[in-house]
Amino acid sequence: MYGVINYEVFLITGILLNLIPGADTMYIVGRSIAQGRNAGVYSVLGICSGSLIHTLLVAFGLSIILTKSLILFNIIKIVGVIYLVYLGIKMLLDKTNLSLDSSGSNKQNKRKIYIQGLLTSLTNPKVALFFIAFLPQFIDTKTTGPIPFIILGLTFTFTGLVWCLFIAYFSSFISQKIRGSERMGTYLNKITGIIFIGMGLKLLQTKSPQ
């Protein structure tokens, strides 16, 4: 099928991989618990948009640069670490109770959360390296062009979208009553900040494939 081989195996494997918690999952859970369902959904859209961009970069051969350039790899990694730690510290210092569900006029906050989710995905070199290592295993070596990569990338992103939306809805549901307390909402924001900082420190341990 358009240069794709063992598509069924890829689909099952992709679903299983999406079920494994990672930095993106923790970001979505943190946003959903601290700020509600809308924040979770917009973080999911941002993460999935990043996945689509990674797909296009791999499809057109640009992400392969990460495996060839140690300097570029480290730059992206450090930017990602700084960004995640910055978000974490910002939430730790924020004394307000942020809740997108409590107001219908928070377009700017929603846009900010979407962009943060997008940047969280784009500044994580592990995501790019995953696409580079995983997708080619299901592409016919005789096939040329970006189409097989795009098909597989879209499939993986779609299954990830479904799972991440479930996570966002479930996380916001179980914390809905807790967020009703302003003090508890502030605590949840700080917990989310700690999660972001932990994600940044974990990303710092990522090693170049060279």
**Domain presence at residue 135:** yes
**Domain presence at residue 184:** yes
Contact 199, 37 (CB under 8 A): no
User: How many Cβ atoms sit within 10 Å of the Cβ of residue 183?
Assistant: 8
- What pLDDT, in 10s, does the model give residues 139-174? 776 766 778 888 888 998 999 899 999 998 888 887
Q: How many domains does the chain have?
A: 1
**Domain presence at residue 14:** no
**Domain presence at residue 1:** no
Share of the chain above pLDDT 70, in %: 76
The most confident of 4-13, 40-49, 111-120, 127-136, by mean pLDDT: 40-49
- Band (pLDDT 50/70/90 cuts) for residue 105 is very low
Predicted pLDDT at 42: 92
Q: Name the helix (H) or strand (E) containing 133.
A: helix 125-134
**Which residues are CB-contacts of 120 (< 8 A; sequence separation ≥ 6)?**
23, 24, 27, 46, 47, 50, 80, 83, 84
The most confident of 28-32, 69-73, 98-102, by mean pLDDT: 28-32
**Domain presence at residue 8:** no
Share of the chain above pLDDT 90, in %: 9
**Domain presence at residue 109:** yes
